[in-house]
Amino acid sequence: MASNDKWPKPQESESWDTDGGMLHPPVEDPIAVVAVRFSSEEFQCVSRAARRSGMPTTQFIHAAALASASQQLPANTPVHTRSAPRLRVDDTGQVF
């Protein structure tokens, strides 16, 4: 028996423990980490815009996503962020 054969495969439903679940306390400040795929040209465009704004690329993407999302929300809906400064989106969709 190979060493990786001693554990059941997750896709085999008969190996699932549906009755013996474990309880964990809730996370106080949950986060989500999202992987986003960019073409090389798209990433160059985004990273140049981040440099112009003086932010690291990841922080710029975070702020731009929140700025875009806030444009889709009803007026006076708060968008909370701890790490990204507020950015504005003009009528053409340009983030600055």
Is residue 75 domain-resident?
yes
Residue 1 is predicted with a pLDDT of: 45
Is residue 70 domain-resident?
yes
- Range of 50-54, 76-80, 81-85 with top mean pLDDT: 50-54
Q: Which domain holds residue 73?
A: 57-96
Residue 50 is predicted with a pLDDT of: 93
Is residue 81 domain-resident?
yes
Condensed to tens digits (0 to 9), the pLDDT of residues 47-74 reads 999 999 999 999 999 888 888 877 766 6
Residue 49 is predicted with a pLDDT of: 92
Of all residues in the chain, the percent with pLDDT exceeding 70 is 61
Q: Which helix (H) or strand (E) holds 65?
A: helix 57-72
d(CA 15, CA 7): 9
> 60 exposed, middle or buried (CB, 10 Å; 0-12, 13-18, 19+)?
buried
Condensed to tens digits (0 to 9), the pLDDT of residues 27-43 reads 888 888 899 999 999 99
How many domains in the chain? 1
